Amino acid sequence: MELRPDSHGKVRDIYDTGDALLMVASDRISAFDYILPDEIPFKGEVLNRISEFWFHKFADLVPNHLISCDTADYPEEFQKYASYLAGRSMLVKKAKTIPIECIVRGYLTGSGKKTYDQDRTVCGIKLPEGLVEASKLPEPIFTPSTKAALGEHDENISYERCAEIVGEDIAAQIRDLSLKIYTAAAEYALTRGIIIADTKFEFGIIDGKVTLIDECLTPDSSRFWPADSYEEGKVQPSYDKQFVRNWLKANWDFKGEAPELPQDVIEGTSARYREAFEIITGSKFESKKEQ
């Protein structure tokens, strides 16, 4: 698009339309807080449409910022870009962002597994002995982190520190909502053959209410595992960008610029994203741009 975004994140470009924001999900991919030089075909559309699915599904559970994903509802200056925007964009209400990444973990993996191996805790939460890679936790846990500026790293914090940053009332609300949404989503996803190992949410304040914003339960913000091959004690195959993370860990020393991805990693990642969309939504993925 020729229009310059008013702000952008690792994946999304954001345009201020006056009364609302237009969020556009690009095909960029980030890993380990690096934006990689290659794009993943259809990725932005998959993320946007999965978020739209969950926003509608949980509309009665928690308010969210979605106004419309129909390009016909967008301001006039965006109409000539409708072909590009179709499927990968949403018009949303403006919110005052709560500066916390709301992470919920239902299984032991990733950074949580590292700290558990050291002292049997995850983000300061004591867990029972005997857990291994991919163990299901006794119950989902809320493990917030700071929301870092672009190019910086998020920092895991305790719930107490979260309450210091945003206040006890807001902290309790975002914790309880995060656990409620995760639990409902995990139960639904399991009926579709997917385990949601962990995920992160973002919230803002709209009209005085805590509101779900940004993306929701996508392969970028979650670990999705196929339930039929789940086996405790080993690293699970996944529908998310773990495929990219694994390649980077095996082929890069994390110094200097991020390397280009091999074509098979790009195509394999794109296929995983589309497969996740189809399993979660129950609909075949057909790009709206091509229609």
pTM: 0.93
- Averaged pLDDT, 92-115: 97
pLDDT by residue (tens digit) across 140-161?
Answer: 999 999 986 655 667 899 999 9
pLDDT the model gives residue 291: 47
pLDDT the model gives residue 152: 64
Q: Is the pLDDT of residue 216 over 50?
A: yes
pLDDT the model gives residue 48: 97
pLDDT by residue (tens digit) across 60-103?
Answer: 999 999 999 999 999 999 999 999 999 999 999 999 999 999 99
pLDDT by residue (tens digit) across 34-49?
Answer: 899 999 999 999 999 9
The confidence band for 11, taking pLDDT boundaries of 50, 70 and 90, is confident
- Averaged pLDDT, 125-137: 97
- Averaged pLDDT, 185-190: 98
The confidence band for 3, taking pLDDT boundaries of 50, 70 and 90, is confident
Write down the mean pLDDT value for the chain.
94
- The domains of the chain, with CATH numbers, are 97-243 (3.30.470.20)
Helix (H), strand (E), coil (C) string for the chain: CCCCCCEECCCEEEEECCCEEEEEECCEEEECCEEEEEECCCHHHHHHHHHHHHHHHCCCCCCECEEECCHHHCCHHHHHHHHHHCCCEEEEECCEECCEEEEEEEECCHHHHHHHHHHCEECCEECCCCCCCCCEEEEEEECCEECCCCCCCCCECCHHHHHHHHCHHHHHHHHHHHHHHHHHHHHHHHHCCEEEEEEEEEEEEECCEEEEECCCCCCCCEEEEEHHHCCCCCCCCCCCCHHHHHHHHHHCCCCCCCCCCCHHHHHHHHHHHHHHHHHHHCCCCCCHHHC
Percent of the chain with pLDDT over 90: 85
pLDDT the model gives residue 287: 94
pLDDT the model gives residue 5: 86
